[in-house]
Amino acid sequence: MYKRILAYLLIISVFFLVSGCSDVLSPANENNTGIEEMYDDASYAEGFLSNAYLLMPDNGWVFTDVATDNAVTNETSNAFLEMAAGQWTADNYPMNEWSDSRAGIQFANIILTNADQVEWATDEATRELFNERMKGEAYGLRAFFMYHLLRNHGGWTGGGQSGELLGVPIVTEPQDKNTDFSQQQRGTFEACMQQIYSDIERARELLPYSYGDLNDPSELPDGYGSTDDDLGRYNRVFGDEGKQRMSGRIAMAIKAKAALLAASPAYNAGTTTTWEDAANYAGELLALNDGVAGLAPEGATWYDNASQISSLGSGSNPPEIIWRDNVEGSGSTDLEQQHFPPTLYGDGWMNPTQDLVDAFPMANGYPVNHPNSNYDPSNPYQNRVPLLEEYILVNGGTAGVNDTQITTAADGNTNDALNAVETSTRTGYYMKKLLRQDVNLDPTSTNPQVHYFPRIRWTEIYLAYAESANEAWGPMASRSFGSHNFSAYDVISALRERQGITPQPDSYLQSIGSDQEAMRNLIRDVRRIELAFEDFRFWDLRRWNMDLTETADGVSIENGNHNIINVESRDYEDYMRYGPVPYNEVL
């Protein structure tokens, strides 16, 4: 790892520059300079922070669902497929984030140790504001990297939940050639969580809740002055140019995510974080988003809301997004090329399972196996919640720019049929979520579209609150967050109404309103649906202590008859509930 850090230090590049500040940032005099050179060269100093951003794990799609009961892939050599088939070892771990996350922490530590000596601006007041922001971002990023290290590499020393729950080495100072890495010990999971909480609080103290230009000195937060000069200084540091960088809102979301992990059954015996803590951290953030009323009406289809995406300029967010990466400039067809069915010129890479399809309720809100559902096994896609057709391409469904009907039945006469060719579905389903249906892959009339990747969605935080609030207080218990009162029930009700469940009020939800266990199962199903294909299911199954070896099933349709088929087995040992420390690090 140390060699990798040195390599990164030799290729420092400047990104995320503060625009319009010629006296703040100037180019480095040479490509290879020492740490101390940052003191008089703000652009070089910011390069360390920029590299931390570049190393963030959530910088693009990682389709871990194919290692779960949510999906399979038709790419037989896929690393996640091989892992799910039992080929998971300490030196063959596709979810390994050890090196990049620890390198990201190294860059953050360099900023935190040296920022006070950097001449961020010639004006002293502006220099201090920049210093606060850079350090606040570094604290937030360090917490973000630590969260990912705990999720991917934390675990119990004795297997199962015996022994000691360990995290990773806690490093708060820059490492150099004199560091004795052999003496670094893994911190306990609890100590790592406390480090996250400490870093998040420091980030919140130093950063605005969100970035954006203010229009009048009266809008300035307390402590930032009251004059036009103060307004100009504030906008220069915390204005529009800072959007999508670490902010107070993002830091609060990271805290909620980390607390949900720690409070979960696979970890809570080794940490002091409780379900109530997790609910409070998420609830505090939701209150700042107008509570349940702030749930974005079109949040479930954030990826295909063309009008919202086309207006994403100057770092703005759609109502569903807390944090995202950059919007593509001219658009692309890559995601659709990978996942569209063959007749739409795609590779059909992600194949949802029958298990996931069955998690979608009927339009009346009842689960398909409930006597009041009116589910018809011979016509299984009729009267289902509308979100099913948005997320999964079923037999007879439509997709693509021309709403082409796709036949996935085993007796279909196109390459979209079950197992027809290498790029065909293996389960009888294709993924539709995440894809823009206005992309055209036809070689004679190719039409790309703009995409973006969400690092944190508001729906994730609403679901985190619902889960933890139900565990802490029960389904209906309403808790006050400032001027807002809402319960787990309230959140799930709003999400299910957004999914298209009718009529309202939701009869099934009302029937389980006082049953904590039934609500727990429903919350997990809602989470499974809302966050499908977004790298959640893999981690959720583990933190819930649920069975990891559920067979991935599909459907074979012949002559209109639907027969459930076994597509792929899962081969996980009990110890695989927790990710390993990479083998080379152990050596």
Q: What is the tens place of the pLDDT at every residue in 515-537?
A: 999 999 999 999 999 999 999 99
Mean of the per-residue pLDDT values for the chain? Answer: 93
Q: Is the pLDDT of residue 485 over 80?
A: yes
Average pLDDT over residues 359-387: 97
**Band (161; pLDDT cuts 50, 70, 90):** confident
Distance of CA 197 to the CA centre of its chain: 19
The single-letter code of the amino acid at 34 is G
Contacts 24+ apart (CB under 8 A), 475-481: 475/512, 475/513, 475/514, 475/515, 475/516, 475/519, 476/513, 476/514, 479/279, 479/280, 479/283, 481/283, 481/284, 481/286, 481/287, 481/291
User: What H or E segment, with its residue span, contains residue 455?
Assistant: strand 454-457
Q: Which residues pair with 558 in a beta bridge?
A: 561
Q: Is the pLDDT of residue 27 over 80?
A: no
Q: What is the DSSP letter of 202?
A: H
Average pLDDT over residues 533-542: 98
Q: What is the pLDDT of residue 7?
A: 38
Q: Are 169 and 189 in contact (CB under 8 A)?
A: no
**Band (99; pLDDT cuts 50, 70, 90):** very high
Q: Is the pLDDT of residue 22 over 80?
A: no
Q: Is the pLDDT of residue 24 over 80?
A: no
Q: Report the distance separating Cα 434 and Cα 448, nearest Å.
A: 14
Structure tokens at 42: 């703000």
**Other C-beta atoms lying within 10 Å of the C-beta of residue 114:** 17
Q: What is the pLDDT of residue 33?
A: 63
The per-residue DSSP string of 364-376 comes to TS--TTSTTS---
Average pLDDT over residues 489-505: 97
Question: Which residues are within 8 A (CB) of 487 and not within 5 positions of it... i.e. 6 or more apart?
Answer: 469, 473, 475, 476, 477, 478, 479
Q: What is the pLDDT of residue 76?
A: 87
DSSP helix/strand/coil, 91:
coil
Tokens 């218990």 locate to 477
Q: Which of 498, 536, 501 is nearest to 295 (CA)?
A: 498
Q: What angle separates helix 42-54 from helix 124-153, to the nearest 10 degrees? A: 20
Gyration radius of the chain's alpha carbons? 25
416 vs 28, which has greater pLDDT? Answer: 416
Beta-sheet pairing, 479-481 with 454-457 = unpaired
Average pLDDT over residues 191-203: 98
Burial of 459 (0-12, 13-18, 19+ CB in 10 A): buried
Preceding amide of 341 cis, omega within 30 = no
**Band (559; pLDDT cuts 50, 70, 90):** very high
Residue 430 dihedral angles phi and psi, to the nearest 5° = -120, 150
Q: Are 394 and 557 in contact (CB under 8 A)?
A: no
Q: What is the pLDDT of residue 9?
A: 43
Q: Is the pLDDT of residue 6 over 50?
A: no
**Band (587; pLDDT cuts 50, 70, 90):** confident
Q: Is the pLDDT of residue 4 over 90?
A: no
* pLDDT tens figures, 440-480: 999 999 999 999 999 999 999 999 999 999 999 999 999 99
Q: What is the pLDDT of residue 494?
A: 98
Q: Is the pLDDT of residue 26 over 60?
A: no
Average pLDDT over residues 492-505: 97
Q: Are 364 and 481 in contact (CB under 8 A)?
A: no
**Band (335; pLDDT cuts 50, 70, 90):** very high
**Band (10; pLDDT cuts 50, 70, 90):** very low
300 vs 6, which has greater pLDDT? Answer: 300
Q: What is the pLDDT of residue 28?
A: 38
Q: Is the pLDDT of residue 182 over 90?
A: no
Residue percentage of the chain with pLDDT more than 70: 94
